[in-house]
């Protein structure tokens, strides 16, 4: 059991309230972990005490729309630019000029944007599963790099990114389906990577054709919890938060591709990242499929100090394989500071 206690904190500005977990000595170099959809600060529960033990001030916020951070009523409130401002305010509240930023899922585009727009606030950046696309994460840029052996263009025009268009075209239906059985949704989403799915189209490529995430049922099925990813306590915390806040905020992160692209383009002078960068590939992540595909090629072209490593996991890497993730991060950091 770790000797480092995880503390609950809140920082407020005139524009945003940010709840965050912290572990380790305040005043130490911050290591700030940003979660994705539909997670929480607790998604980094296996990382916080470990990196506190290595001498860092390990911090994990609830991103906007989640947990105990501010919830906003408009889709446009969830554009990446606003979350970048949230995170810079968080860093300021810690009294530090720079941090090591670590992101996963939608947390990754925020970390990449911090690297573009605020390189002076970065000791280095690390991301899990979602690679750097200099022009921003959007369906068009991602689909251009699709594996057309798995996703023939005629059948799957936007490949595994079809689900993102479903939000844009049927937002209310998408949100309603997730909320119809929130415990079932959590259990359905938080699953270990399955190597049997390699080389096969992801279910995310057929969301519009199926009429939604869960097809005609319009609600997640009841299924056993995957203990390899979340415990019963973790499940309760995810479910309680999503029941309290709903899926409007989390799903709205998908509703701003044009704004996010424009924001990335506004930093074009900084598209070549010079700070140390770590990217962790999920071997069994077949949506953000970066192993044996071209999806990570723009990152390799635009990051001059890039380290890559693979983890034998699915998408929920930090929760499914925390020992391997922590080891890769620690190895990278040992040469960073």
Rounded CA separation 12/89 (Å): 9
Measured at the CA of 65, the angle between CA 17 and CA 207, to 5 degrees, comes to: 165
Rounded CA separation 129/80 (Å): 18
Q: Tell me the two tokens of residue 125.
A: 């950046």
Instruction: Decide: 235 and 183 in contact? Cβ < 8 Å.
Output: yes
pTM of the entire predicted model: 0.98
Query: What tens digit of pLDDT does each residue of 98-151 get?
Result: 999 999 999 999 999 999 999 999 999 999 999 999 999 999 999 999 999 999
Topology of the domain comprising 7-334 = Rossmann fold (3.40.50)
Query: What tens digit of pLDDT does each residue of 50-93 get?
Result: 999 999 999 999 999 999 999 999 999 999 999 999 999 999 99
Q: What is the DSSP letter of 150?
A: T
Query: What tens digit of pLDDT does each residue of 31-60 get?
Result: 999 999 999 999 999 999 999 999 999 999
**pLDDT classification of 2: cutoffs 50, 70, 90:** low
Which H helix or E strand runs over 278?
strand 277-282
Phi, psi of 262 (to 5 degrees): -65, -40
| pLDDT score for 1 | 46
């Amino acid at each position: 059991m770790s000797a480092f206690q995880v503390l609950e904190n809140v920082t407020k500005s005139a524009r945003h309230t940010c709840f965050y977990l912290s572990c380790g000595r305040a005043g130490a170099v911050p290591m700030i972990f940003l979660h994705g959809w539909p997670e929480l600060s607790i998604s980094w529960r296996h990382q916080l005490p470990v990196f506190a033990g290595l001498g860092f001030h390990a911090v994990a916020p609830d991103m906007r729309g989640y947990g105990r951070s501010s919830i906003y009523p408009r889709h446009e409130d969830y554009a990446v630019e606003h979350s970048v401002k949230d995170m810079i305010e968080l860093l300021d509240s810690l009294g530090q000029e720079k941090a090591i930023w670590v992101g996963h899922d939608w947390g990754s585009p925020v970390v990449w944007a911090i690297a573009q727009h605020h390189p002076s606030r970065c000791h280095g950046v690390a991301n899990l599963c979602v690679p750097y696309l200099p022009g921003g994460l959007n369906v068009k840029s991602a689909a251009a790099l699709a594996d057309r052996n798995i996703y023939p263009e005629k059948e799957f025009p936007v490949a595994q990114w079809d689900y993102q268009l479903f939000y844009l075209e049927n937002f209310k239906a998408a949100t309603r389906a997730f909320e119809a059985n929130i415990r079932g949704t959590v259990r359905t989403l938080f699953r270990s990577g399955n190597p049997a799915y390699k080389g096969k189209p992801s279910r995310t490529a057929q969301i519009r054709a199926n009429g939604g995430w869960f097809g005609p049922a319009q609600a997640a099925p009841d299924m056993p919890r995957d203990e390899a990813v979340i415990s019963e306590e973790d499940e309760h915390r995810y479910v309680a938060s999503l029941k309290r806040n709903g899926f409007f905020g989390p799903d709205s992160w998908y509703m701003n591709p044009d704004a996010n692209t424009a924001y990335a383009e506004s930093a074009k002078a900084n598209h070549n990242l010079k700070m140390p960068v770590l990217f962790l590939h999920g071997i069994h992540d077949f949506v953000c499929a970066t192993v044996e595909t071209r999806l990570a090629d723009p990152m390799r072209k635009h990051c001059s100090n890039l380290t890559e490593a693979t983890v034998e996991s699915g998408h929920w890497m930090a929760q499914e394989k925390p020992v391997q993730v922590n080891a890769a991060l620690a190895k990278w950091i040992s040469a960073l500071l």
